[in-house]
Structure 1
């Protein structure tokens, strides 16, 4: 029952990442330009990252049901702000409030999934939780246009937000019924001896996430640039989203058998090979296939990484450690798409951006290869003294 609560929660909170379906309607309603509207999503990513970073504090101070109901309430509180039809209203109502709710829900679901199943099934549990977050983004990317076409932006977004809150409320009920107990046994230790390992984890996550997010954020224009039609590009993007989620599930199963570090090295290497192929190919079908490969490897990467962090720190301290490592994802999420867009404007093509992504993915593979699978001994010593 606790595992079902995690899946329902992440599916609903994944709606945050269907923002591309709202961009043009928000532009028309607010009169803001594309860059200004893009900042709404950037604000959401920063708020999401903050929620994961401070998650270990929230998990200790709230029980599961209360925390999930808080995540349900925040997007609802943002509805009146978005109804003002102003850019600032969307920044606060969607970016800050919904972003924080999504981060709190996603982070808590990952944390809870580690305790909801036996240790030998932890990989599948975290992989499924991550996959349902992606499936939520995919599902709401289809739901948003339908609701907005029928009700308009204001009422359509309000209706979709009520659905998100409803899913979170169902999750809260399931958590309450499951009586799941989790353990967060550390706040902020002065773990100087563990800083090297934590830095490697941070760099590996940031570089791997940057490579994947750069391509996925520009998937449609990259596919179009290869000569594909708009309909083919949209279909390709849908396949990438589904492949991303399915890869997360498969990665979890693999991690339960082989651990997380070696599969992560393989995944990052395959991503680099696909990215290298994208820099040279101009064939439409090959381009779609390679972008699909990058999407799948990114899905596997973000599913496996919490397991690597948990293995390094221990499950009961993973919330603290993952909160810090996750800031690398937040930085990558904010930077990757603008960097790719700027490089495209300067060069008129995606070659340079894809080359950088390829090098970052190789760098991630190299860094992860040197992250120990066993718990960091220096980290353990500090924890023992605290």
Structure 2
């Protein structure tokens, strides 16, 4: 198998792993069932999801380090075992404390290990000018997962109940992830992709590019770019994860919709589309410009979300939220590879990804508490609007990096 074909097989395997790990994004369907059947509060129903997001993000650092050192195959397999067992053990209880342990901790560990292994393995098979596009394809699996897992979960909940749904999905995803993990690999010496750029593409990274140094994580933590990326990621992820974690409840509260799982599936389509589209666009116009565009989209949507009081308007809001949020999941790994190189891609992006975990804790918890206290999400939307505007402003402080279309025959800057 030639280098390109091997790279695409790794990319598709990574996408498939993320399609299974994306069960995290269907939590709002489980949460709605827990609220209805066991009379949980909205805040309580957010806690296992919130904890899973935090653990997922924290595990990206050791997971990234381990896959950099031992390879993605072993670490992704371990991720499948933890994620599957977390769901299976969730079937044995419906108490908050136990679901925090099984879904929040164990499944969160598995999701972090699996996710940390998929994208770095894939991008190493392709030249720099395709980093954004390949990252977008791999992480699109995670966003697209809700498209089939949300209706599957809703069907299983109605047919078999909460406990059996956890068990069946746990077995399914454990087997799927372990099998796909066997395809993951990184290129050996001599299999490195051709990094020569086409004549009509102009490199925007300065001659003293950070990425040329393949910066280790200790030096990365001394760079201004790391902290800018971290703050922007946390702000944008908070808004997106708030909607993802609460969408079924938001749809019911604002529009009286009892089939919120369909909105979750709709969001998944645009979540995945945003990842691929933003990855491709950022290869053309640069990471900062693409971030600016999608942060502005998020901000406008958050500002208007409180007025979405019909099925059609909630659907529009869900689509925009998915598009804006999904974009972040391909823009930020690509920007991390641009600024700090791909040699230490796993652990470096792991540190950047902790911002996603902070957003995953803050956004859903903040929204749940506000909704419990006021029976409205309006204040939560306004807080998210302010965070997205902050992220938009911070993009102007990033140094230029990425690719954009340039004048033909201008040589690439190295």
Unaligned runs of 5+ in 2: 1-8, 193-212, 403-414
Choose from 68, 75, 80 the match for 1:72. Answer: 80
Please give the alpha-carbon distance, in whole angstroms, between the structure 2 residues aligned to 1:35 and 1:95: 15
Please give the alpha-carbon distance, in whole angstroms, between the structure 2 residues aligned to 1:349 and 1:155: 32
Q: RMSD value over aligned CA atoms?
A: 3.1
1:30/1:85 contact within 8 Å kept? no
1:200/1:367 contact within 8 Å kept? yes
How do residues 1-386 of structure 1 correspond to structure 2 at under 5 angstroms? 1-23=9-31, 35-78=43-86, 81-85=89-93, 87=95, 88-175=97-184, 180-181=187-188, 188-190=217-219, 193-194=222-223, 196-224=224-252, 226-227=254-255, 229-231=257-259, 234-279=261-306, 285-374=312-401
Taking a change above 3 Å as real, the CA distance of residues 370 and 26 of structure 1, as seen in their structure-2 partners, is same
Q: Which residue of 1 aligns with 2:410?
A: none
Taking a change above 3 Å as real, the CA distance of residues 251 and 145 of structure 1, as seen in their structure-2 partners, is same
| Count of matched residue pairs | 371
Give the SS at the match of 2:182.
helix
Please give the alpha-carbon distance, in whole angstroms, between the structure 2 residues aligned to 1:223 and 1:24: 11
Q: What's the TM-score once normalised by structure 2's chain length? A: 0.79
Unaligned runs of 5+ in 1: 376-386
Please give the alpha-carbon distance, in whole angstroms, between the structure 2 residues aligned to 1:146 and 1:227: 22
Taking a change above 3 Å as real, the CA distance of residues 4 and 268 of structure 1, as seen in their structure-2 partners, is same
Please give the alpha-carbon distance, in whole angstroms, between the structure 2 residues aligned to 1:12 and 1:80: 14
Cα deviation digits, residues 291-349 of structure 1 (max 9, x gap): 42222111112221211122111122332332122111111111112212333444553
Please give the alpha-carbon distance, in whole angstroms, between the structure 2 residues aligned to 1:83 and 1:239: 27
Structure 1 position 69, deviation (Å) = 1.7
Give the SS at the match of 1:116.
coil
1:56/1:323 contact within 8 Å kept? yes
* More displaced 10-residue stretch of structure 1: 87-96 or 259-268: 87-96
Please give the alpha-carbon distance, in whole angstroms, between the structure 1 residues aligned to 2:345 and 2:64: 9
Please give the alpha-carbon distance, in whole angstroms, between the structure 1 residues aligned to 2:227 and 2:349: 12
Q: What's the TM-score once normalised by structure 1's chain length? A: 0.84
Cα deviation digits, residues 197-218 of structure 1 (max 9, x gap): 2111111111111122233433
Give the SS at the match of 1:372.
coil
